[in-house]
Structures are given as C-alpha cells and as structure tokens.
Chains A and B, each alone.
Chain A
Amino acid sequence: MALTGRFVLLLALGVLPIVFFGEPVIMLLWLLGSVLLGALDLALAASPRRVTIERGQPGRLRLGESVQTELLLTNTGTRRLRGLVRDGWEPSAGASGVRVPVRIPAGERRRVEVHLTPFRRGERRTRHVTIRSLGPLGLWARQATIASTGVVRVLPPFNSRKHLPSRLARLQELDGATAVMVRGQGTEFDSLREYVRGDDVRSIDWRATARRNDVMVRTWRPERDRRVVIVIDSGRTSAARVDNEPRIDTAFESSLLLAALADRAGDRVDTIVFDRRVRARVQGASGANLLSRMVDAMAPVEPELLETDWAQVPAQVRQVTSQRALVVLMTAIDTAQSARGLLSVLPQLTRKHTVLVVSVSDPDVLAATGHRESLDEVYRAAAAERAQLDVARVSQAIRQLGADVVTGSPADLPPAVADRYIALKAAGRL
C-alpha cells in the first residue's frame, strides 16, 4: 500500500472548513472522511499482482553506448490498471526514467521501454519489476514487486580502436615495401613483379627475368600464421586504478588493439585471463568473430583480490600452443618483491617464445617527481623517484631474462603495444 501526494493535499485542505466553521470536531469528521475515501479508492484499484511480465533481452552493448530494453506488461485482472512501473536495474545500468506511468485496460498488454546507458563494464542485471496501482481517485495505491530477471552485458569500450587504421596502414607499408627491406629469417616470398626504378637490385630474380623479356624482382611479405598468446593478469595488482581506470581495463584495451592488428596481419591470437585459475579464455577465433568473442569473454571479468599464480602460466601457454609464439603478459611491474613470481617463470617462457611484458605506468608518479615546492612535495618526489627506480630495476631484470618490456600511461599503452608488435614483425622475430 502507498499514499499519494493527492491524499496528503486532501488532508491538508481540511484546515479550511475547520477554520471557517471554527468547530474542532470537523477535524475528526474530515479525517474519517479522507480515510474512508482512501480505503474506497484502494478497494477499487486494480490488483498489481495480476500483471504478468515478459521481457525483451537487450543482449550486449559497448560501455558508453545506450540500449533500449522493453517490458511487456499484461493485465490479467478484471479492472483497468493505472499507475507507475519501476524496473529494478542496478544503478550502474544507468536506466533513464525510473518510474514510468502506465495505463493497461483489463486483459490487454502494453509495452514499456527503458533506455539503459551503463557506466560500468560487466553484466548489469535487474531482478524485479515493481508496479504501483492507483485507485480511480488517485489517493491510495496498491503495490507489488514481481520477480523478472533481465541481463545486459556491457562490453569493454575498445576506445583504442581509433589507433587501428594508422597501425594497419603501417602494416600494409610493411607488406608492400618489403622489396627494400632486409631479407631475414622472418620474411617469406610473396610474388614476382616487374622491376621499377628504385628497387633493390639484389632482389632481381634472374631466372624469372630470363623467362620473360622484362626484369622481374621478387617481393617479400612479413611472415604469416604466427601465434600470439595474450595472458592478462587479473590478480590483485590489476585492481589498482591508474588515471581512475583499473589496470585490467587498460590491459583489455591493449589486448583488443593488439588482437585486431595481429588478426589482420594474418597471425592467430589466443587470449587467457588468469589469476589463480582461468577467468576467461578465447581460442581459435579469427576475423570479426575474434574481437566479438574477446569482448564477450572479458566483459564480466573483474580483478580478483588474489596473488597471481605465475608458476601455472607456462603450462597455460603450453596448452594453447606448442609452437614458438609471441607471449604478451599484461601485468603490473611495481617492485622486485611483487614481481618475484613473474621473474621466476620468465626463463621457462623465453626459452621457447618471444615474451613481451606490458605494464601501465602511473602518470601521477611521473608528475610527482617534478613538483618539489614544499617539504611534503619533496618527500613525495623522493618516493616517486624511488617507485620509478623500482620499476626500472624490475624492467632491467626482465630484459636480462630475455623478455621485452613495454610501459606507458593508460592512454599511451595500447598504441605502444601495437607499435612494438609491428616492430617485432618487421624484424621477423615472431
């Protein structure tokens, strides 16, 4: 049961007759009358319990986008229902208009549309719908909550896709310009074409030239069908926020850009999200399917407050591929103590694979080293320098173990990882 503002107003209007007639007993009469009217109204209201709910499932959307969900309300009662409906979405689902007015004649069905603009990644849910049914006078209302589950999956935004065209262009340059590139172990024969001025004379294929009446050169293309294994650390260090974005979200952005790029370059990309067990895994997908499956797998993953078990990582990589691969470890490099697990398994990985360790660096720390106006700030700068020294030491150790390190602020990291991939590809080190 619920009251409306109209009932409160009706009660308040009772002041006028009391003052006009000056009889205190009118107050009791007015009160009794109001309550009787309210009770009558309540008795005449349609039952909200006799409304059945069907729900259109909105499916998936990227973070930052909007989606329209629909509720189908069927009034199975015998009276016309007039009232308000609230769909119980989680606050971070960003539902517009929490209370929707509805009028459903007896035995009919109406559609209610709710627009969602979620502001958190993951699965956003609603578990119930609440209906408040007003009486014909609009004084008192009946209310009931009906269970009805709805889910919308909010995918990582992949903001870094704006970097994709420029990186793809560089990949194509790599493709066509191979005639002038060093012919190393990492390039494969692509095709023969006519010589144009400026081509490297060393790439002239004399046998083909002899067969035709024209000078032919061999072209080369970067190696294809290599393996890229992305391992994203979802342990406790990934929960920390840099620039108000959890490290794991930056790792997702970086891996999506890298996967898109590597897929276009003809390599096979596999992704594992791991802390002490596998939280998400995408294997054997390619083309448009790859990114879709990756964002789908990543959407519900939140950092766990656990120490990552690095000892299991080589086995996980071995499960994905036994070939030589580019293993990209998306984690955090903070101090020698916290990176001990990572450092201890790196030799196993570098023996067989090319390993790239990717870590977000904190712009706040860099900024802190420059501000030294007060005593507090000098100590802050000292602590920041110390933090950077720690990172530098761990990076050095990783390089000594044969792996490569990429660090950057959340905005810079995804293109930096993509650039490093292109550099490795150009050098034929995959």
Chain B
Amino acid sequence: MTLQPEPRPQQAAETPDVSTPSVRSVSKKSLFWVAAFVFILIVGAVTFSTAGAGAAAARLGGTSPNPNGAKAVVEVLRDHGVTVHLADSLAEARAAASDTTTVFLYDGQSLLSDEQLAEVGTLGGRLVVAAPDFDTLQQLAPQLAMAGAITDSGTVVPGCTLPFASRVEAITGEGQSYRIIDDSASGVTGCFPAKDNTYSLVQVATGAHTTTVIGTTAVFSNETIVGAGNAALALNLLGESDSLVWYLPTLADLPAGEPTLAELSPDWLPAVTGLLALVVLGAAIWRGRRFGPLVVERLPVVVPASETMEGRARLYQRATARSHAIDQVRIGTIGRLATELGLSHLSGVDEVVSAVAARIGAPVHEVQHTLVTWVPATDGELIVLSDALLDLEKRVAETGPGRRSSPGHPSVTIDQPRQARAHGTEQGE
C-alpha cells in the first residue's frame, strides 16, 4: 500500500454516511442506565455505612445497646457508684485491676492462650467468668468439669448460702452447667443446682481470691437481664467491690508472631499492583477495541462428494454385511477381469471364470471358489478373500500377452479415469 498526494478537490464533497454513533447520541441513550447505576451505588453506600455500626458491636459489649450487649448492667453498676473499666486487651485489664477489683471475663471467641488465662486468674480480688469453654475452665477452675448444656427454658433457684446468691429468687437456667469433680477441695461451692449434682454457678475460693464460674450469659445481656432474678444476681455478683474491670478479649490479645507479608512488603507495593492492574485493563482495551464492525461473508457449503460412499461403508460395517460387501467387490473385479481378458460386458460369470483359469493356469474350481462361491464367515476371512481377489487381478494382468509389467489394478489411480473414459467412448459410438 502506498500513499500519494492528490490535488486538492475543487468542491467539497457531500457529508459522509457515518455508521458509528456519536458520543452525543450514545450518552443520550445510556443516560438512564448511568443514572440508575449511580443511584444504586449511593443507596448501597448509605446502607453499608449505617448497617456497619451495628455489626461491629461485640457480644456482651459494655457499650453495646444490642439485645446481646451488656450496656444495661454496666450503666446500672456505674449509677451505683462502681467504677467500671472496659478493657479490650489483657494489658488494659492488668493496668486497671487492683487487689480488690472484680474482673469480669467473657471470652466467647476463645482468643486467650493458656498463659494469658493463667494471668487473668491472678488479676484482682475476684474473678467472674461467664460461659467459659473447656480450656478456660481447665486453667481458671480445674476443680470443675463441663456437665452438659441445660436447654429447657425454665429457671433455677440458688440452693446455696453464698451472699450474692442467697438474695436471688431464681435465674434463667439455660446455658452451661458444671460438676464439681474434686470433692475434697475446700472452698468450692455450687449454686443453682440442676439435676445430678450439676450447677449453673460455682465459686472457687483460693485464699483471698475467688473465682466464680457462671454457665449462662443470659444473666448479663440486655435482652434477658430483666427476666427472673437475673438482674439481682448480676448486680450482686459484679457490684461487690468498688471497681469492676469488664474484660472482653479481642484480636489485640493474640500473640504477636512473625511479621506478616504486608509488614515485610514495601509501602509502594499495593500502589504498583493497582497501577499494573490498570495497565492490564488498558492493554485489554487497546488490543480489544475493534477496528470497525465485523465483516460478514456468506460461505459456501462444504460437502465432499465421497461422503455417501463413506456412509455406505460404515453402514455395511455396522450391519456386518460381509457377503453383501464382498459381492460388490466381486462384481467390480469380474468387470475389470472381463475387460482385461477381452470378453464382452455381456459375458456370464462362468465364461470369465474359465477364461481366468485358462490365462493363469489355475484349477477352475479354485478360481470359481474365489470369484463366486466362497462366503466369508469372519472378518479375517473377508480380508483374506479381498486380498485373493486383488491377487487374482494382478496375476491376470501380469500373465497377459504383451502386457506391461505393472498390474492393471486401479491402485494406479491416474490410469483409471482415462480407462473409464476410453471405455465410455467405445460404448457411445
């Protein structure tokens, strides 16, 4: 392709017929969809920002007004002059706790390690553990064992003489219950018994320090604190001393291990990754933008003429039509042999058989067997017979008087159309 300058046209040509839509018409058409998309984005953003606040609050959180929070009990204790420290980590709890402090622990996600639990066990003067799991129980009150969950929604009565419990009529029974396994140990008192010597609340006194294990969180949560004598127990239990540490372990308590991948990688990595993603997007647009519309071309049907032949061959094979198939081959062979031997097309099979036998000097019955009577019983025989027919043609061609030495079989394919045509000429004229 070459470019050559052309003289400037004398008059301006008419406006070209452009099929690409202009930016204006595209923006008019897509205005609705763009507006709809932006609207959905705004609604989504607003919904996400308002819903996100509620989802972040923790179970039994001291500032959470949700049904599963514990803002009610914390605020009531504050009104009664108890200093409540909300601790998110062990360090905060340690800093806020003194010898007389009551420490409340609820580790719903089992974040604390054994060592941290052991440390929690020494904090303050009194420790209240709500719904501890197996590990927590092992560390803080090894005298107790888990004794299954109480699932009925009834209430349990104190049944003990501990001061904070004796003034309570009943509490919600639903939750975990505990069994005292070390009977000989002193200072272990079970309260709120269920059946079979199991208790919803157990206090273990070790010297001046007491650990109270309570199996239910219903006593503290906003939703259920007003039921039965829950509020009375919660206030009595937590309000015994002047200060309370409300400790809910968070992710900050997890031990700091090896530095994470994010800490190891340089600052610019996210920016570069983002830029490279945009580069890939740009490259996709660059290579993917079509240079004008697709050109459609009506293509012809492609049907090989030998399709019917192939189809018939597969039909023979599927029907195992051995004798029928070999008969077709024999008719063709006999026709070619008759031409080779100079016989008329109208001559009978017996004539051809005897002429072939005479030419190649083989017994007549043998030739008869190959050309007519042999019915192949197996696939192997079919191939053998087919080879015998080929062989017969070859021998007849070779023994012909004054013939060329090459066999006269159509395996010499170039000869065939000419033969057929020469034959046609004889017939036509």
Residues of A within 8 A of B (CB): 1-5, 7-8, 11-12, 14-15, 18-19, 22-27, 30-31, 49-54, 72, 74, 76, 84, 86, 88-92, 96-103, 107-115, 120, 126-130, 132, 143-148, 239-242, 246-247, 302-303, 305, 332, 334, 360-376, 378-389, 392, 395-396, 399, 404-409, 412, 416, 420, 423, 427
Contact = CB atoms under 8 A, between A and B. Distances in A.
A72 B3 CA distance: 10
Interface of B: 1-9, 12-20, 22-23, 266-268, 270-272, 274-276, 278-279, 282-283, 285-286, 289, 291-293, 295, 297, 300-310, 312-314, 316-317, 324-326, 328-329, 331-332, 335, 379, 382-383, 386-387, 390, 409-411, 413, 416-418, 420-421, 424-425, 427-429
A257 to B, nearest CB: 15
Nearest to B23: A1
Contact of A144 (B7, B20, B332): B20
Contact of A405 (B23, B266, B411, B428): B428
Contacts of B272: 15, 18-19, 27
Nearest to B326: A382
A408 B12 CA distance: 60
Nearest to A380: B313
A404 B18 contact: no
Nearest to A103: B3
B409 A370 contact: yes
Contacts of A90: 295, 297
B420 A361 contact: yes
Nearest to B331: A389
A375 B386 CA distance: 10
Contact of A383 (B303, B316, B420, B425): B316
Nearest to B412: A370
A302 B301 CA distance: 10
A388 B332 contact: yes
A334 B332 CA distance: 16
Contacts of B19: 128, 145-147
Contacts of A5: 283, 286
Contacts of B14: 52
Contacts of A74: 9, 13
Contacts of B390: 370, 372
A370 to B, nearest CB: 3
A53 B16 contact: yes
B374 to A, nearest CB: 14
A412 B417 contact: yes
A11 B282 contact: yes
A382 B271 contact: no
B211 to A, nearest CB: 50
B318 to A, nearest CB: 9
A86 B295 CA distance: 12
A406 B410 contact: no
A108 B276 CA distance: 42
B282 A144 contact: no
A146 B14 CA distance: 13
A246 to B, nearest CB: 7
Given A11-B279, A24-B267, A76 B8 contact: no
Contacts of A113: 1-2
A88 B286 contact: no
A102 B316 CA distance: 63
Nearest to B285: A3
A49 B18 contact: yes
Contacts of A101: 3
A72 B13 CA distance: 11
Given A145-B18, A241-B303, A383-B310, A378 B386 contact: yes
A378 B1 CA distance: 55
A254 B310 CA distance: 28
Given A383-B313, A405-B424, A128 B293 contact: yes
Given A99-B291, A132-B291, A423-B425, A382 B329 contact: yes
Given A22-B267, A49-B18, A380-B310, A11 B379 contact: no
A240 B305 contact: yes
Contacts of B413: 363, 366-367, 370
A303 B379 CA distance: 41
B305 A145 contact: no
Contacts of A15: 272, 275-276
A200 to B, nearest CB: 23
A101 B397 CA distance: 67
B428 A240 contact: no
Contacts of A386: 309, 312, 328
B17 to A, nearest CB: 4
Given A379-B313, A382-B326, A51 B16 contact: yes
Contacts of B317: 375-376, 379
17 contacts: A3-B286, A19-B268, A23-B271, A24-B270, A49-B20, A110-B6, A111-B3, A145-B293, A242-B304, A334-B308, A362-B309, A363-B417, A364-B305, A388-B332, A396-B427, A407-B420, A407-B424
Contacts of B303: 239-241
A325 B63 CA distance: 111
Contacts of B285: 2-3
B265 to A, nearest CB: 12
Given A19-B272, A370-B413, A110 B5 contact: yes
A112 to B, nearest CB: 6
A382 B327 CA distance: 8
A7 B286 contact: yes
A385 B313 CA distance: 10
A404 B426 CA distance: 10
A373 B304 CA distance: 23
A246 B16 CA distance: 41
Given A3-B286, A72-B6, A420-B425, 18 more contacts: A88-B293, A92-B297, A108-B5, A114-B1, A129-B292, A144-B18, A240-B303, A332-B305, A362-B309, A364-B306, A372-B383, A380-B309, A380-B310, A386-B328, A396-B427, A404-B424, A407-B424, A416-B421
Given A22-B268, A27-B271, A86-B292, A241 B297 contact: no
A389 B386 contact: no
A97 B328 contact: no
A305 B283 contact: no
B383 A378 contact: yes
A31 B275 contact: yes
B13 A76 contact: yes
B292 A128 contact: yes
Nearest to A372: B386
